[in-house]
Structure 1
Amino acid sequence: MDFTGKALPLTANDIEIISGYLGCQIAALHAIIIVETIGEGFGSDNRPIILFEPHIFYSELTVPSERQRASREGLAYPKWGTKPYPTTQKQRYIYLEQAIEINETAALSSCSWGIGQVLGLNYKICGFDTVNDFVNAMMYSTGSQLYAMARFIAADHLQVYLRNLAWAEFARRYNGPAYASNHYDTKLKSAYDRLPAAEKITPKIPTQGELLSILKN
């Protein structure tokens, strides 16, 4: 796989549809995009931004010989932070391609993908039948990546905090108990406050067809 897809950019229509799906203001979702995402869904080569997670790969490999091979090659280890992550997308994709040679499903599941950096192992709760379907969507558009992030938010029932603009509660559940030390809640509120009044509306709930149109290629 070369992981090069259409790499379509995020559109205002994508944000409106996904805001309607979550039942929150456009500005609330926009604040999440500003604060909680990496800002870009694709690199200059039109491949999705990824982060290969060796500790996840270790846990996803259930065949001892595969786990041993991955460990020998430096692609898997049991504890997060054992080694620094590669800083370039080129090197991260090299790691992913090497991991695919050992076990494709485990490798794709062990990557964080796109603008929201959703782990591939979450493909089912993000609405996909297989991890390959998930990856194909991540290759298609930034809108598809945001869709996956929204499904992940909805699976944890976090949209209620977006609807109520309860930034501290959202940040605590999305970022973990250390959210306050990184000021995620105040960053979210500040981002929201800076957005125009025209975005502080809640769109209608999209039809299933409208929602899935984001994923079509």
Structure 2
Amino acid sequence: MFRLIQLQAQHGVPRIGIDPDGYGSERAALARYRETPDTFSGIGRFDPAGRLAEIIMDTVCGPPGDCPDPAVVVNAVTFQRLCDNHSFGLEVLTLPELALHLGVVVRMAPAMARSGRHAAPDESHSASNRIAREFSAHVDDPVWRMELCAELARTPAAVNGLLIGVGALSHRDVLDLYPALCALGTQLPGGVHADLVRATVRPLSPAGVTALRLGL
């Protein structure tokens, strides 16, 4: 189930407002969102239990006017999507930083090509998907962990794949793989490591679960 959401800051703490109308697909929710982009911040994907599992944000730069550049960050205060030019001099959050603030995976929606068809996913989305897909089978491989950390250093937005991969492990998997998970926790790039440590104050969030399972 997908619903439109609004991100707001209350006393410096991000809050998520949820529209009651539900949509059966990401495409339907995105189409509705693009009819009223100033009203909502993005789309929320909810799991069968009704928990927010993922936030999907549009790639269109948020300030008024027809900005041709894609959004790459969000304003740290208003959560408005911003391109490189409009974000200059402002306090901003990258998508991985926003994900850790909210405790839920955040990604950009597929960009719309001029023909109206979806453009190919960007590099960070592809890396995130690959990390999530390979995580359980390869995390106990020291070489793979080194490659993962290099990927996270090179493509910070791919941290979403780490959150998904770690979160998908069963309790038995965590017990069996705990030495490898802890080893990965010590190898993470400094920025990712610091963000995950901060996320431990929300232990039930995806980022908090990841941090605890990595022994942070």
When normalised by structure 1's length, the TM-score is 0.27
The structure whose residues are more often strand, as a share, is 2
Higher RCO, 1 vs 2 (CA within 8 Å, ≥6 residues apart): 1
When normalised by structure 2's length, the TM-score is 0.27
